Every structure is written in structure tokens, then in C-alpha cells.
Amino acid sequence: MINKVEICGVNTAKLPVLKSAEMKELFIRLKGGEKEAREQLVNCNLRLVLSVIQRFNNRGESVDDLFQVGCIGLMKAIDNFDLSQNVKFSTYAVPMIIGEIRRYLRDNNPIRVSRSLRDIAYKALQVRDKLTNENDREPTVSEIALELDIKREEVVFALDAIQEPVSLFEPIYHDGGEPIFVMDQIKDDGEKDSSWLQGIAVSEALTRLNEREKTILTLRFFEGKTQMEVADEIGISQAQVSRLEKVALGHLEKYVKED
């Protein structure tokens, strides 16, 4: 059972919770080379792992195994977290924990994908990360294919073969009481023209929003940015962006109806 008290020898009923200031202090100590700080950060964030593995409870996998794999993702997040970025650790860590669990499930999937196809997919993922770091943006499939010197279709087929379907409306994590959905993490370049926002009535309604609401809707739906990117740009948390976006869309709908 997911809600059992002990997982992998860890008493989940007694897991500590840190305040933001305490977390920051531990990360500062960790950067200074203090190993005990890393151990404290792991122990105080195990609730994140528990939160994530609940979404995988219908896979028939051992909860203990998923918890251990999730902890690997948590440790990677702790080791790579940058305090200078204006983002909560939970928002940064959850996708990494999910990614680690998905890799585990993919590698143990009874539906076997050929070794050669998996090799192409893993190389493509490595190239994607490399190009993202070099160019500070997500590379296109064509750019990945060019780097690997293979056809674009081969990259698409290989990546599709190792992916699991997921609903865009599936909640990833509840941050500050507001659920963060899969679609909130996706950058949609196809919406840059924002055809649904065009039209006289909508344009007039937009002028009636306050500056922050207009900025958020412009970045999200005209420029196709993710909530995380918007949060970084205007200096607030992703949870705040999510809440403000919902409010702004509600106001927009109201003003359109009035017009």
C-alpha cells in the first residue's frame, strides 16, 4: 500500500519538513562541501518522492522499488539545484524524480523495444541535452538528427518508441495548494500566433486587464512560453503564475462576454 507507514525502512509518518529559509541554509552549506547538509536535504524532501510515486500506484510495481528510484531522482535534483534561480526546489525536483521513475519503468517495460532503437533514442536524448546547454533553448528534431547524422524520421520513431502516453491534464504535483499539470510544463510553439486570441472583441478585452495579467497571457499564449519560463521572466513562482493565469483568463472571458 502507498500509505503504509514504512517504505524501504523509512518511517514515512515521521518525515521532517523544512521551511524555505532552512532549505536555503542547507543548500548554502552543501555548496560549501558539507556532506551532512546533503543528507538532511534528502531526508527532509522524501515527502516529495512519496507524492510522486502515488501517480504510479496502478503500474503493479513494488512501492519500495519506486521509492528507491525516486530517491535517486531526488538526490540528482539536490546536487544540481541552483539557488540563484527564482524557483522553488519542489518545482525543480518533481520533474527530475518523475523522469527517473519513468526511465526505470521504461527499462523494465514488458513491451520490448529493440536495442538499436533504444540506442538511437538515448543518443538523441543526450544530444538534446547537449544542444540545450550550448544554445540555451530546446533543439528541434531536425537539429538532433543532423547532429547524429541520421534521418529526422528515425529520431522521431526512436523517441516515440520509448515514451509512455500521458494526459496533458494529469497533475504532476500540488504546489502551494494549486495543482501543476503536465500541460503547464509544455512549451507549445504551435500557439505562437495565438489565433484564438485574435479578433476585435478579444483584443479589446485584453486592454482591460492589468499589466501583470496582460504580461502573463502574452508570454504564455502569444510567445508560447511555459509557466516555468514565465515565472523566471517576471520573478514569481510557477504556482503564482498558474493562479494569476487562471484569474486573467477568467477576467478575459468575462470582458469578452460583456462586449
Range 171-258 classified under CATH 1.10.10.10: yes
Q: pLDDT class for 146, splitting at 50, 70, 90? A: very high
Q: Which three cell numbers stand for residue 195?
A: 489565433
**Which of 239, 212, 217, 244 lies closest to 228 in space, CA to CA?**
239
Q: Could you tell me the pTM of the whole model?
A: 0.44
Domain 1-110 belongs to what architecture?
Up-down Bundle (1.20)
Domain ranges (residues) in the chain: 1-110, 114-161, 171-258
Domain 114-161 belongs to what architecture?
Orthogonal Bundle (1.10)
Nearest-Å Rg of the Cα atoms of the chain is 21
Element (H or E) spanning 122, and its range?
A: helix 115-135
Q: Within its chain, how far is the Cα of 133 from the centroid? A: 17
Buried b (16+ CB within 10 A) or exposed e, 239-257: bbbbebbeebbebbeebee
pLDDT of residue 149: 92
Q: What is the number of other CB atoms lying within 10 angstroms of the CB of residue 183?
A: 14
Residue 35 has pLDDT above 80, yes or no: yes
